[in-house]
Structure 1
């Protein structure tokens, strides 16, 4: 899970790369909002697919913009100084368009940004939102190159901080636990889905945390030499190979390991290919 210290370090790295006259930035891509603030909507929640935006002010606060239900669906409290939340649902009244609720939170802070040079992540921001920010730009020149905020953040994300590495290691341990469970489960007479269940149980036992698991869990043989996708009720026969190429996502960070496991002793041709 991302830490307060890590988020502050990443925000400072961002400011170090921006033109000196930039007074504020509005980050809109959910991956980048999470990277800089730790705000991530729980993917196994009612609000999956919803988003918040992050307003950063030079020498000022970091403010999360969101609707109230999106905020309550976060995986953890965000590392921000302020929250501008629009009530989307109060258990008493009909709801409004959630995109409009997010725009309403932006509208409330936009007045304080007028006549101050700022940069928006235009790749991920609805066109309508830019109308509230007439002094913002989507591209900027720095170090003799033209940038967009989204491209800059993608480059910054390539260098991982300690809290990111720790989250990646947690995802890797979970993925490895799933593969160990698969090795103990694969046998003739077992279905692809039963192997998947064993993997899923082992991953959850390792993380003790809601995670996402996706990838290839399919068997192959001479008649069907290549196959991938979600597991089925296909029964493994002696000599079949089960492709396990899957990812585990823990708090937004992904591991990806691959193994091919034989159901029973591998045949001579498989052993030859393995040795090659």
Structure 2
């Protein structure tokens, strides 16, 4: 009987990316690694692309060859190798093994073909001006947050926005609740500048913004904001949520609910032209 195709799980993708990064840091090519380990270098390439599942023993051999002996990080990679087939939520069993830096939002953004999202409360982070982002971060983190932390988080948020400008970047689709656009964050002038900025982004070919009017009372986004990363062919979509309990990544088949919810709110929203007009109208009201 033919073998069931391996699902390119998020764990497998992340493990492959980490192994590739370590190899490149050591200045080694796949051909060199294959010769050292007497393995087919094309197979090693498939491991790095998560096309084939990699065994724990093979990860051990690669890490030994790379001289990668940092105990904590090595343990994390070996744990991933044991469970590359799993598609559970990342927060269910990993606790002390996987922290928020081990799989990250920017990594998904860099790999996705389309980044789809619904925003109920504030303007999407990818669209935020620095002043707007700072106020949102301070409100979320509380009065005791350090200035260094705020500055670092603002810089990270702005760095992520390069996906808006780089040629060949992922398509960006955002559905923003009208209430989020009208929420007075900062001065009227700051909000007007923020809305004008969104209006300018709407003109970019790979950016689509739709506004969900407040007149739409019942919709699939009532549970809050969410993201959907549509990956290249062969890689399942990934859903993402964040809140007071932390970050949550959801893989197929559970991410199918994110797909359905996004299509629902997108269909209920205004089309891009109508959305741009409403954004401009709200900005004019602040003048």
TM-score by length of 2: 0.24
The answer to which structure has the higher helix fraction is 2
Asked which structure has the greater RCO (Cα within 8 Å, sep 6+), the reply is 2
Q: Whose Rg is larger? A: 1
TM (norm. structure 1) is 0.25
